[in-house]
């Protein structure tokens, strides 16, 4: 973490990052990110007379929201014109079933982290798929295996560049299959 930079970020910056600045980053600020007529908005109403959102003072609402507020404080959620949470309870979902499903998913993720996962992908290179920069990101860990099939449907040869970051999750040094990556990213070493 960049301590010098993070010291300049205040609570309001954090709230704006989750709302209007998040929408700006996605180039959607004209559609969402703030409560204004004509924009889409999800509204969350919190109870301020419970632990987590107390003691409420004139100058501590945003810090309470960021650091102390929790799901128990959420009383109402409106999204897309629909009431999703009413008096702290999900309207159209079984919370016990959802909790059991989350536990099942967590067990699957834990097992996958130990034994590895096979990533398989078939990519077709066509004029339509290449209208924008073709980029894939996968969080691949050391025990994982990756199988990629690329079919060139273009009328010209295509150059494929594969770069691995070598971050801690990757479990090793950076590996690069193309010298052009080193030109774009000078800190990436050729193996």
Give the mean model confidence (pLDDT) for residues 141-162.
Answer: 82
Q: 97 or 114, which is more confident?
A: 97
Which among 138, 146, 183 is positioned nearest to 165, based on CA atoms?
138
For residue 100, what is the DSSP state? H
Helix (H, G, I), strand (E, B) or coil at 77: strand
- Quickly name the fold that domain 3-90 has: Urease, subunit C; domain 1 (2.30.40)
Which among 47, 45, 42, 46 is positioned nearest to 82, based on CA atoms?
42
Which pLDDT value is given to residue 31? 92
pLDDT, one tens digit per residue, over 164-181 is: 655 544 444 444 445 555
pLDDT, one tens digit per residue, over 31-76 is: 999 989 999 988 999 999 988 899 999 899 999 999 999 999 999 9
Sign for the CA dihedral angle at 21, 25, 29, 33 comes to negative
For residue 163, the surrounding DSSP H or E stretch is strand 162-163
Contact indicator for 98, 47 with CB cutoff of 8 Å: no
Q: Give the strand pairing for 176-177 and 74-79.
A: unpaired
Query: In the chain, where are the structural domains located?
Result: 3-90, 116-184
Q: What is the pTM of this model?
A: 0.54
Which pLDDT value is given to residue 191? 43
Q: ∠ at Cα 36 (31, 42), nearest 5°?
A: 70
Per-position DSSP letters for 106-154, written without gaps between them: HHHHHHHHHH--EEEEEEEE-TTTTSS---------TT-EEEEEEEE-S
Instruction: Please state the φ and ψ torsions of residue 142, each to the nearest 5 degrees.
Output: -50, -45
Which pLDDT value is given to residue 75? 96
Percent of the chain residues past pLDDT 70, beyond the cut: 76
Q: Give the strand pairing for 118-125 and 145-152.
A: parallel
Give the mean model confidence (pLDDT) for residues 88-94.
Answer: 93
Calculate the average pLDDT of the chain.
81
Which pLDDT value is given to residue 41? 85
Q: 52 or 190, which is more confident?
A: 52
Give the mean model confidence (pLDDT) for residues 135-152.
Answer: 78
pLDDT, one tens digit per residue, over 152-166 is: 998 988 877 776 655
């Amino acid at each position: 973490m960049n301590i010098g930079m993070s010291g300049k970020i205040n609570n309001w910056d954090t709230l704006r990052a989750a709302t209007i600045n998040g929408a700006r980053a996605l180039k959607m600020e004209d559609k969402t990110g703030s409560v204004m007529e004509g924009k889409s908005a999800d509204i969350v109403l919190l109870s301020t007379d419970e632990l987590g959102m107390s003691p409420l003072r004139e100058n501590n609402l945003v810090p309470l929201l960021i650091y102390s507020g929790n799901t128990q404080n959420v009383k109402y959620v409106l999204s897309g014109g629909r009431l999703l949470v009413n008096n702290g309870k999900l309207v159209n979902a079984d919370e016990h079933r959802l909790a059991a499903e989350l536990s099942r998913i967590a067990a699957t993720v834990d097992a996958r982290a130990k034994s590895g996962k096979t990533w398989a992908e078939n990519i077709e290179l066509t004029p339509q798929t290449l209208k924008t920069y073709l980029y894939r990101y996968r969080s691949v860990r050391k025990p994982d295996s990756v199988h990629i099939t690329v079919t060139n449907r273009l009328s010209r040869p295509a150059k494929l560049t594969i770069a691995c970051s070598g971050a801690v999750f990757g479990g090793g040094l950076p590996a690069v299959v193309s010298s052009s990556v080193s030109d774009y990213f000078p800190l990436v070493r050729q193996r």
